[in-house]
Amino acid sequence: MKKNYATLVMAGLFLMNLPAQAQEANYDESNVGTYTLPDALTSLNGQQVIKKKTWEKIRRPEILKLFQDNEYGILPNAKIKTNYRIIEESDNALEGKAIRRQVEITFSGNNQTRKMLVLLYMPKGVKKCPVFVAPNFQGNATTTIDPAVIESQFSTYERAHQTSRWSYDRIINSGYAVATFHYYDIYFDANGKLAETIYPLFGITSDDDLQDNTGKAITAWAWGCSRVLDYLLTLKNIDKKRTIVMGHSRLGKTSLWCGAQDQRFAMVISNNSGCSGAALSRRNYGETVPRINKSFPWWFCNKYQSYNQNVPSLPMDQHELLALIAPRPVYVASAQEDRWADPRGEFLSLQEASKVYALYGYDTLQGYSFPAPNEHLWKGNCGYHMRTGVHDVTDFDWQSYIEFADRHLK
């Protein structure tokens, strides 16, 4: 009896200590529930969109606004001055194959300044190179063993701590440039840190200054990616027509939101972005909208919280975020063991979004079934794979992105 009681107590303590996601998430396909997705090709007044002109003039702006008003939010208008300063440069990086440049971008507005540090590698001898813009989680110096890389101001990690996620050799050998920055330079990934982010530049210094539709971290990080692109577009050897925004996980949500808004990006990649990224919100599988809003209230606009009790009342779903990228190439990648991010929900979302690509004459993913692990499903301008393994960015992922970009960006 005593032993049973002790076992029960132990079990209870174990459950209490489990992460909330493990206790609450559904991983049973038969419990996903039924749902009806909003139709990306029916405008708010009921009109069917059959021409790309109607998509671009009416439906696309409607959907963009739905995401601005209800999920990610927008930034207030503000006059922000930007200054670029090259603080380090070498034409003998990565075993002599690359030019390395480290650029400090200073933003000023509202009597405040903020700085971001960009690490840029460019392949030597390429006159016009395509470029990946990809924010990093732990600081620029954690992405490489290159000792000349300057540590990012808010990084708390050891140098070279996350090199496995950055296939710099492959990227450079394939003729691509890559630009990265520590996402903390733009917005701390924590609650209650608003004053230390870029927000004071916009006249926002506390949560009280936020409207229902003021964007927070995801919108800010997306803004950061666009500012890196501003800089890259000043360089002669960067190909303006082949710029790619790529992000992993919360930064995959960011790359999608960035690419949806900033149409200068010619291709968009979501790596394991999951809930409120590529995955459909209406599927009850893995992370859900109420769950993400509870854990990460600083990522989305305040209005998003109002859907916690009634996800189907969201006036849009994530396939429409992917559709905003049309007709530009979009790549959604999942990982088999990353059930929290709902790989199938990511695939179904892209499949549904591909209908919009059909307006531009592209093949769609309609009629294709969920591909086997590590199989590429590339149709029209939509790319998908579910890699074996866990939530991560691997060389397989980078190899896929480069091959897809080689084929689709001209």
The footprint of ligand GCU (CB under 6 A) covers 249-250, 274-275, 287, 292, 295, 340
The least CB distance from residue 143 to ligand GCU, in Å, is: 16
Q: Which of helix, strand or coil describes residue 191?
A: coil
Radius of gyration of the chain measured on its C-alpha atoms: 21
Amino acid at residue number 97? K
The least CB distance from residue 286 to ligand GCU, in Å, is: 9
**Closer to ligand GCU by Cβ: residue 130 or 274:** 274
**Closer to ligand GCU by Cβ: residue 131 or 186:** 186
The least CB distance from residue 272 to ligand GCU, in Å, is: 7
Q: How far is CA 42 from CA 26, 37, 54, 96, 359, in A?
A: 31, 11, 10, 53, 13
The least CB distance from residue 252 to ligand GCU, in Å, is: 7
CA distance linking residue 380 with residue 395, whole number of Å:
24
**Closer to ligand GCU by Cβ: residue 277 or 380:** 277
Q: How far is CA 169 from CA 178, 184, 333, in A?
A: 11, 25, 21
CA distance linking residue 284 with residue 311, whole number of Å:
10
The least CB distance from residue 187 to ligand GCU, in Å, is: 14
Q: Is 249 a catalytic residue?
A: yes
Cα first-last separation, the chain: 72
**Closer to ligand GCU by Cβ: residue 55 or 299:** 299
CA distance linking residue 6 with residue 319, whole number of Å:
48
In 3D, which of 272, 275, 218, 316 has the Cα closest to residue 25?
275
CA distance linking residue 321 with residue 75, whole number of Å:
18
The least CB distance from residue 346 to ligand GCU, in Å, is: 11
Q: Is 385 a catalytic residue?
A: no
Helical ranges in 209-277 per DSSP H = 217-232, 250-261
**Closer to ligand GCU by Cβ: residue 270 or 400:** 270
| Active-site position among 249, 273, 276, 334 | 249
Q: Please answer whether residues 370 and 347 qualify as being in contact, where contact means their C-beta atoms are separated by less than 8 angstroms.
A: yes
What are 260's two structure tokens?
């949806």
**Closer to ligand GCU by Cβ: residue 101 or 165:** 165
| Catalytic positions | 249, 391
